[in-house]
Amino acid sequence: MYKKCLITAFEELKADYFVLMIEDSALAQVSEPGQFFNLSCSDGDIPRLKKPISIYDVDGSEIAFMIKKVGKGTEYLSKLKVGDSIDVLGPLGNPFPLVSGKSVLMVSGGVGYPPLVYLKKKLEDCEVISIHGGRSYDDIFLCDYPFTEDGSYGRKGLVTAHLEKIIKKHKIEVIYTCGPDSMMKAIGRKALELNIDCYLSLEEYMACGIGACYGCAVKVKADNEQGYIYKRVCKDGPVFEVKELWMEDK
């Protein structure tokens, strides 16, 4: 759907993060964890490509986004106020497959955090352990195992460092992850090694967001000469099972 929606809540989090809430019951009803919206980030000024933002929460008829200000587009979003309206295209992409009754690990880095929050809310009868990493204290949000690169909060280092220990300790059966490419690759490899189901929510630069332009390509294993074909993150993903992905370095 492509709609103009009212902003019903705006909350500054720490540092450059903020939460934006829109209201639309039709959209809320069909918004699932792992899906995203393409949000308009301009009033007609250029540049004005829409920006993909994951669903962070759905509460009744409201949909929340948790956003980090990193450039012009997200800066525009950070200046919106309750009562303003915004054009949204979505929900887009395929959601995370939901499991139940399992021991689940969620691993996020940076703005990979929001989709996993909504996923957690939707998982039933699961024991969920969460790891979250970021550059420093400012990038850390609620989770079981926080990591920072600079050691300013939680453990110092990369989220992947203690991965195997945590998996073993909690008898993890399914991993969901979203974050920087290198982080997800490391997790994916570990999951393959330990033969654990692992779903990754990928990021690629997007234009249309709906499958038309083939800009957001990612390598997926295939039975051809190269060993891979390109699929579209926006339409064929953003969620992929680790077994489908071409895991060699680019």
Ligand X SMILES: Cc1cc2nc3c(=O)[nH]c(=O)nc-3n(C[C@H](O)[C@H](O)[C@H](O)COP(=O)(O)OP(=O)(O)OC[C@H]3O[C@@H](n4cnc5c(N)ncnc54)[C@H](O)[C@@H]3O)c2cc1C
Ligand Y SMILES: Cc1cc2nc3c(=O)[nH]c(=O)nc-3n(C[C@H](O)[C@H](O)[C@H](O)COP(=O)(O)O)c2cc1C
Q: Exactly one of 207, 220, 222, 229 binds ligand FES (CB under 6 A); which one?
A: 207
Cis omega (within 30 of 0) for bond into 33: no
Q: Which residues pair with 130 in a beta bridge?
A: 106
Residues 100-159 that bind ligand X (CB under 6 A): 111, 114
The residue whose Cβ lies closest to ligand X is 71
Phi first, then psi, for residue 113 (nearest 5°) are -65, -50
**205 part of the interface to ligand X, by CB under 6 A:** yes
Q: Which of ligand X, ligand FES, ligand Y, none does residue 211 bind (CB under 5 to 8 Å by kind)?
A: ligand FES
Sign, CA dihedral 69-73-76-80, equals negative
Q: Exactly one of 124, 125, 165, 226 binds another protein (CB under 8 A); which one?
A: 226
Q: Exactly one of 59, 205, 221, 241 binds another protein (CB under 8 A); which one?
A: 205
Find all residues with CB under 8 Å of 136, minimum gap 6, and list them. 148, 149, 150, 152, 153
Q: Which of ligand X, ligand Y, another protein, none does residue 52 bind (CB under 5 to 8 Å by kind)?
A: ligand X
Instruction: DSSP for 23-83, please give it.
Output: E-HHHHHH--TT-EEEEP--SS-SS---EEEE--EEETTEEEEEEE--SHHHHHHHT--TT
- Draw the binding track, 8-37, toward ligand X (x: CB under 6 A; -: no contact): ----------------------------x-
**49 part of the interface to ligand FES, by CB under 6 A:** no
Q: Which of 198, 137, 130 is nearest to 159 (CA)?
A: 130
Q: Exactly one of 213, 227, 241, 243 binds ligand FES (CB under 6 A); which one?
A: 213
Instruction: DSSP for 147-162, please give it.
Output: EESSSSSSEES-TTTT
Which parts of this chain interact with ligand Y (CB under 6 A)? 207, 213, 215
Which parts of this chain interact with ligand X (CB under 6 A)? 36, 49, 51-54, 65-68, 70-74, 111, 114, 203-206, 238
